[in-house]
Amino acid sequence: MINYTEKIPNNVDLGRDRVLQRALEHWQPAYMGWWYDMGPNESHNYEVYLRTAISVEPDGWAQFDYVKMPEYRWGIFLQPRDEKREVNFGIHKGQPAWQEVPGEYRSTLRRVIVTQGDTEPASVEQQRMLGASCPSMYDLRNIFQVNVEEGRHLWAMVYLLHRYFGRDGREEAESLLARRSGDADNPRILGAFNEPTPDWLAFYMFTFFTDRDGKFQLCALAESGFDPLARTCRFMLTEEAHHMFVGETGVGRIIQRTCEVMKENKVEDPSDVRALGVIDLQTIQKYLNFHYSVTLDLYGSDISSNAANYYTSGLKGRFRETKLEDDHVLAEAVYPVSEVVGGKIITKNVPALTALNERLRDDYIDEIADGVGRWQRVIDNAGIPFRLTLPHKGFHRAIGNFAGHSVSPEGEVLSEQAWKNHEFEWLPNSKDYAYVQSLMSGRVVELGKFANWIAPPARGVNNQPLNFEYVRFN
Ligand SMILES: [Fe+2]
Ligand SMILES: [Fe+2]
């Protein structure tokens, strides 16, 4: 008999919930099987300097120590309950927040939880080979931290499925371990989570762009009238912040290193920059274009009756719902949405309720723009005349009003032929990928050493020095 309280740190009284324990008895070995198969490659004996959450108190979710990843204690944490919390939007606004699943929303809510849950193991699968080409021990430790926390996020969603959705929930929990990123027959649910993450530039872009989609989805679900979901997502957000930090600083350090080398050697031409073994800014812009556009698709159709239903029923709110000053019902409100008409992009107002995907996407874009501005400052500080830009929202989109249209990064609607002529000036081509991967042919793990193509970080993890032994290989 497993002692769950010891093995799975939690604040949901796991030790006293027999139904939940029985469900987990079946699921936990399957999860471990998945981790051994699909978790970070060749890592099972490494001891990694990891942060483990053991409670939701500020000092409880930042416990650092060496851990073998298969022995990581994937805990189940909900933000403490606020007895006075209400449903804050939609037709049930003002009612007490739900502690059990409302019968009429059962299948919708299950779908929302499964869709979120599916992204968590997907990203672990996407990143599983990257340890073999890490640029430093510091970065290796960081990717492992992201991986175990995505594993914990899967646990967080599986907890909800097991606890509140009975047999259907248990079946969904099994399917979450059965789908595989990029698999032709049984892929992950959402497109961006089936794209490969072939190198470390892609990894940092992914954690900056796609983990941030995770943040915005979690923020919307953290407003849910279904209180256990809201409380689960609130705690997940504390970890998501670290993933975005890894992405933003990772790309920033690559840019910094490129700029240093460009200045030292007085070169600007991309082929001269590449000859010096760093990633040219043009290629960084192409990766940015790719990851930004595939992540924008994750928000779904610009006009969506599903999104309207989720909101009206109180299941999924807006970003910072309770801080917004309006009626939280959106009966009369309108919101601007773009579409392509006769070869031109036009914007029109539609009922705000139907445009909630678009609104969340716009909130996301605002935050992305700030981060890209911080990368730009690194280039500006080096005195290099290069501008990183966010492409137009309609660029390279496969979902929503822009799907099926060819839109340039500047927002010009192109013919298919014109798009084809320029596509690989805007998106990474096979040569770009091959070049980036040629820099990452092996791992750099000497203490305190960093690959030539990336600058060291400003500081180490948990106040440790940069030459700290973040991973023991045994
Ligand atoms: Fe996550
Ligand atoms: Fe994440």
> What's residue 3's pLDDT?
67
CA distance readout (Å), 120 to 143, 157, 333, 451 = 14, 9, 34, 29
Q: Which ligand is nearest to the CA of 247?
A: 2
Phi/psi of residue 472, nearest 5 degrees: -105, 120
> Quick one: pLDDT at residue 8?
83
Ligand 2 mean position to 260 CA, how many Å?
A: 30
Distance 12 CA to ligand 2 centre (A): 22
What's the CA-to-centroid distance between 155 and ligand 2, angstroms?
13
Assess whether pLDDT exceeds 70 at residue 343. yes
CA 174 / ligand 2 centre spacing (Å): 21
Residue with tokens 């700290």: 468
The answer, yes or no, to whether residue 314 has pLDDT greater than 60, is yes
- Torsion-angle region of 129 (φ positive above 0: left; ψ -120 to 50: alpha; else: beta): alpha
Q: State residue 5's pLDDT score.
A: 66
Mean pLDDT over the full length of the chain? 96
Q: Whose atoms come closest to the Cα of 221: which ligand? A: 1
Q: How far apart, in whole angstroms, are the C-alpha atoms of residue 232 and residue 10?
A: 12
Nearest-ligand number for the alpha carbon of 118:
1
Q: How far is the CA of 240 from the centre of ligand 2 (A)?
A: 5
155 C-alpha to center of ligand 1: Å? 10
Reported as a single tens digit per residue, the pLDDT across 109-145 is 999 999 999 999 999 999 999 999 999 999 999 999 9
Ligand nearest to the CA of 210: 2
Burial 302-329 (b: 16+ CB within 10 A, else e): bbbebbbbbbbbbbbbbbebeeeeeebe
Task: Copy the structure tokens of residue 459.
Answer: 């500081």
Identify which ligand lies nearest to the alpha carbon of 117. 1
The model's pLDDT over 238-256, given as tens digits with 9 standing for 90+, comes to: 999 999 999 999 999 999 9
How many whole angstroms from 121 Cα to the centroid of ligand 1?
8
Per-residue pLDDT averaged across 20-36, rounded?
Answer: 92
For residue 59, what pLDDT is reported?
Answer: 77
**Cα 120 to ligand 1 centre (Å):** 5
pLDDT at 9 over 80: yes
Q: Which ligand is nearest to the CA of 127?
A: 2
Counting ligands in written order, the one closest to the CA of 236 is 1
* C-alpha span between 280 and 389 (Å, rounded): 15
Ligand nearest to the CA of 242: 2
The rounded Å distance from CA 220 to ligand 1 centre is 14
Give me ligand 2 centre to Cα 150, in Å.
6
Name the CA dihedral angle for 320, 330, 114, 99, rounded to a multiple of 10 degrees: 80
3-state secondary structure the chain: CCCHHHHCCECCCHHHCHHHHHHHHHHHHHHHHHHHHHCCCCCCCCEEEEEECCCCCCCCCCEEEEEEHHHCCCCECCCCCCCCCECCCCCCCCCECECCCCHHHHHHHHHHHHHHHHHHHHHHHHCCCHHHHCCCHHHHHHHHHHHHHHHHHHHHHHHHHHHHCHHHHHHHHHHHHHCCCCCCCCCCCCHHHHCCCCCHHHHHHHHHHHHHHHHHHHHHHCCCCEHHHHHHHHHHHHHHHHHHHHHHHHHHHHHHHHHHHHHHHCCCCHHHHHHCCCCCHHHHHHHHHHHHHHHHHCCCCCCCHHHHHHHHCCCCCCCCHHHCCCCCCCCCCEEEEEEEECCEEEEEEEEHHHHHHHHHHHHHHHHHHHHHHHHHHHHHHCCCCCCCCCCCCCCCCCCCCCCCCEECCCCCEECHHHHHHHHHHHCCCHHHHHHHHHHCCCCCCCCCCCCCCCCCCCCCHHHCCCCCCCEECC
Distance 240 CA to ligand 1 centre (A): 6
> 408 is written with which tokens?
């340039």
| pLDDT for 358 | 98
**Mean pLDDT along residues 153-182:** 97
In tens, the pLDDT along 200-244 reads 999 999 999 999 999 999 999 999 999 999 999 999 999 999 999
**Neighbouring C-alpha atoms within 13 Å toward the C-beta of 370:** 7
Cα(474) to ligand 1 centroid in Å equals: 29
pLDDT in tens, 51-76: 998 888 877 777 899 999 999 999 89
Distance from Cα 194 to the centre of ligand 1, integer Å: 15
Report the separation in Å between the CA atom of 349 and the middle of ligand 2, taken as the mean of its atom positions: 33
Least confident range of 12-16, 132-136, 284-288, 430-434: 12-16
Task: For the chain, give the percent of residues with pLDDT over 70.
Answer: 99
CA of 149 to the centre of ligand 1 (A): 7
**Residues ≥6 apart with Cβ < 8 Å to 185:** none
| CB atoms near residue 65 (< 10 Å) | 10
Tell me the backbone φ, ψ of residue 79, rounded to 5 degrees. Answer: -60, 140
Nearest ligand to residue 233 Cα: 1
Q: Which residues surround ligand 2, an ion (CB under 5 A)?
A: 211, 214, 240, 243
- Lowest-confidence range among 71-80, 85-94, 176-185, 461-470? 71-80
Q: What pLDDT, on a 0 to 100 scale, did the predictor assign at position 4?
A: 66
- Tell me if 255 sits within 8 A of 375, measured CB to CB: yes
Bridge partners of 10? Answer: 76
Summarize the confidence of residues 166-194 as an average pLDDT: 97
pLDDT for residue 180 is more than 60: yes
- Contact present, 237 and 215 (Cβ < 8 Å): yes
Global model pTM greater than 0.75: yes
Band of pLDDT at residue 45, cut at 50, 70 and 90? very high
pLDDT of residue 2: 57
pLDDT of residue 389: 97
Q: Which residues, other chains included, contact 71 with Cβ-Cβ below 8 Å and sequence gap of 6+? A: none
